[in-house]
Structure 1
Amino acid sequence: MKSRNWVRFFLSNLLIGGLTTGVIGFALKWSEYKVLFSEFDIMEILSILFWLFGVGLIFSVISQMGFFAYLTVHRFGLGIFRSITNWNLAQIVLIVFVLFDLVYFRHQFFASENEGISSYVIVALYILLVGLVVAYFKRTSTNKEAFIPAMFFMIVVTTIEWFPALRVNEEDWLFLMLIPIQVCNAFQLLMLPKFTNAKKS
């Protein structure tokens, strides 16, 4: 990738992270923030939006670090397992392991007494569903061999990037971080070829 295209790719992802976090932040706290809109408190709205946008930039940087780390890991994986089939099997095992951890270990650590496991299963299923959808579009836009690596990135790498919020385990922070990271990761996965192949203007 040419340096100019890489800068455009980086800045585009930063903007997406900032804007997505701003929207999600207001949506999660709408019951509190709607008063500001009804009172037309522009300064307070802008200050909150500015803070959320800044947090979103951090999420975007985390997402991009994870993406380029995965590109390196993917190359190492192909070299170690010596075939795409074996590497894909290893990635499937890791996907299952991470999804199991998201349900079982989170329930063990954070569930209150008599709390059911269903909410933890729903979160894991949501992450799986997003991973499947993004992987499908990646496969459609490239080739069928891209499906498993795309799923691995959208599930395993996203969960690793999400870990700071998982440790805190506050519902608002969980989704405030998860959704922008998923959006940034999906953008990188689907749009990288277009930036890589873009001609220098």
Structure 2
Amino acid sequence: MNTRKVVFLFFTTMIVGAVGGAIVGIPLRWDAFQGEGFWNFFWGTIWMLGIGAAISIVAQMGYFAYLILHRFALSLFKTAKLWNLVQVLLIAFVFFDLVYLRYIAYADGEPWTAYLLTPTLLLIYALLIAYWKMKETNYTAFIPATFFMFVITTIEWVPALTVQQVNDSEWLWIYLAPLLFANTYQLIALHRIQRSKK
């Protein structure tokens, strides 16, 4: 990876996160966007693009932190099999936390099963993207890619999950969407960029 490729990845990830955030955020906040004419919609769209771009920077920090963690863990655990086992256990632990801790913090008479939907959808999405990554690279990429898409995305999502005021599906998804767009793009784009000759 030369400097040009790093800069290209940085800016394209920011654009993907910004556009992804706007695509999801505008329909979710449609009531706020449709009032007061064209300029309200225009500046609201700019605002959503800005939020998505800012969140994509968080996603980029998370991605490069994971790349460093992955290399460190491979040297620490000596074998990829042991590190993969640790990652699978952490995926299970984070899934449990996403359900149980949010249930404890926010439940107001709902059963704990009401908090299963979002973690389950996120895990399914992570598995699908990991399968895509594996098909484009090799089978050893599946567990690390799943870990990154599920665990690291969840860690990046923590600010939205821990603020009481945004415990509604609208803001949770407005924050999550740019993370998913940016993380998916980074995961799939990195090996392609590395292989390119420019």
TM-score range, shorter chain: over 0.9
Q: After TM superposition, where is structure 1 displaced by more than 6 Å over at least 4 residues in a row? A: none
Query: For the Cα contact (< 8 Å) 2:33–2:40, is it kept in 1?
Result: no
Query: For the Cα contact (< 8 Å) 2:62–2:156, is it kept in 1?
Result: yes
Taking the aligned partners of 1:19 and 1:104, their CA distance within structure 2 comes to: 32
RMSD value over aligned CA atoms? Answer: 1.2
In the alignment, which residue of structure 2 is the partner of 1:9?
9
Could you report, residue by residue, the CA deviation over 1:21-74 in whole angstroms, capped at 9, with x for unpaired residues?
1111111122443456xxxx2211111011111111111100000000000000
Taking the aligned partners of 1:3 and 1:197, their CA distance within structure 2 comes to: 15
State the identity %.
39
SS, match of residue 199 in structure 1? coil
Query: For the Cα contact (< 8 Å) 1:62–1:161, is it kept in 2?
Result: yes
Q: TM-score, normalised by structure 1?
A: 0.93
Query: For the Cα contact (< 8 Å) 1:5–1:198, is it kept in 2?
Result: no
SS, match of residue 192 in structure 1? helix
| Superposition map of 1:18-167 within 5 A | 18-35=18-35, 41-112=37-108, 114-167=109-162
SS, match of residue 115 in structure 1? coil
- Count the aligned residue pairs: 195
In the alignment, which residue of structure 2 is the partner of 1:183?
181
- Residues 74/8 of structure 1: CA separation in 2 closer, same or farther (3 Å cut): same
Could you report, residue by residue, the CA deviation over 1:158-189 in whole angstroms, capped at 9, with x for unpaired residues?
00000010012232221001121011101100
Q: TM-score, normalised by structure 2?
A: 0.95
Could you report, residue by residue, the CA deviation over 1:71-127 in whole angstroms, capped at 9, with x for unpaired residues?
000011101111010000000000000000000111011111x21223310011011
Uncovered stretches (5+) of structure 1, i.e. residues with no partner? none
